[in-house]
Amino acid sequence: MNSKTTIEVKKTANENNMSLIRRFSRRVQEAGIIVTVKGKRYNEREPGKLARKNGALSRLARRAEIEKLKKLGKWTERPARRGGR
């Protein structure tokens, strides 16, 4: 859902630049653009159905390969990591 909001502010004859910027900032704040952008900042979209399926298939293939290497004796278990942050 992408909604674009256009905010246009025109300078009047006797208006200085600072008041123009102040008026523009007020319009942006009233439109709620800053709040929505900050809210969406850290949101990640979830992967699609095909990406999830491909990830699952690659995990299954990796597990099968590891099992094959274990049976052949070519796989060594990594020591468990200790400690944390």
Residues 51, 69: one domain?
yes
For residues 11 and 37, membership in a common domain is answered with yes
Same-domain status, 36 and 1: yes
What is the pTM assigned to this prediction?
0.46
pLDDT number for residue 84: 66
Task: Please give the Cα distance from 57 to 64 (Å, whole number).
Answer: 11
Number of domains in the chain: 2
**How many angstroms separate the CA atoms of 78 and 85, rounded?**
20
Task: Note whether residue 80 is domain-resident.
Answer: no
Task: Report d(CA 68, CA 34) in Å as an integer.
Answer: 54
Indicate whether 5 and 19 sit together in one domain. Answer: yes
Q: 33 with 52, same domain?
A: no
Write the pLDDT tens digit of every residue in 12-63: 999 999 999 999 999 999 998 888 888 888 888 899 999 999 999 999 999 9
Q: Looking at the structure, do residues 7 and 36 belong to the same domain, yes or no?
A: yes
Which domain covers residue 50, as residue numbers? 46-74
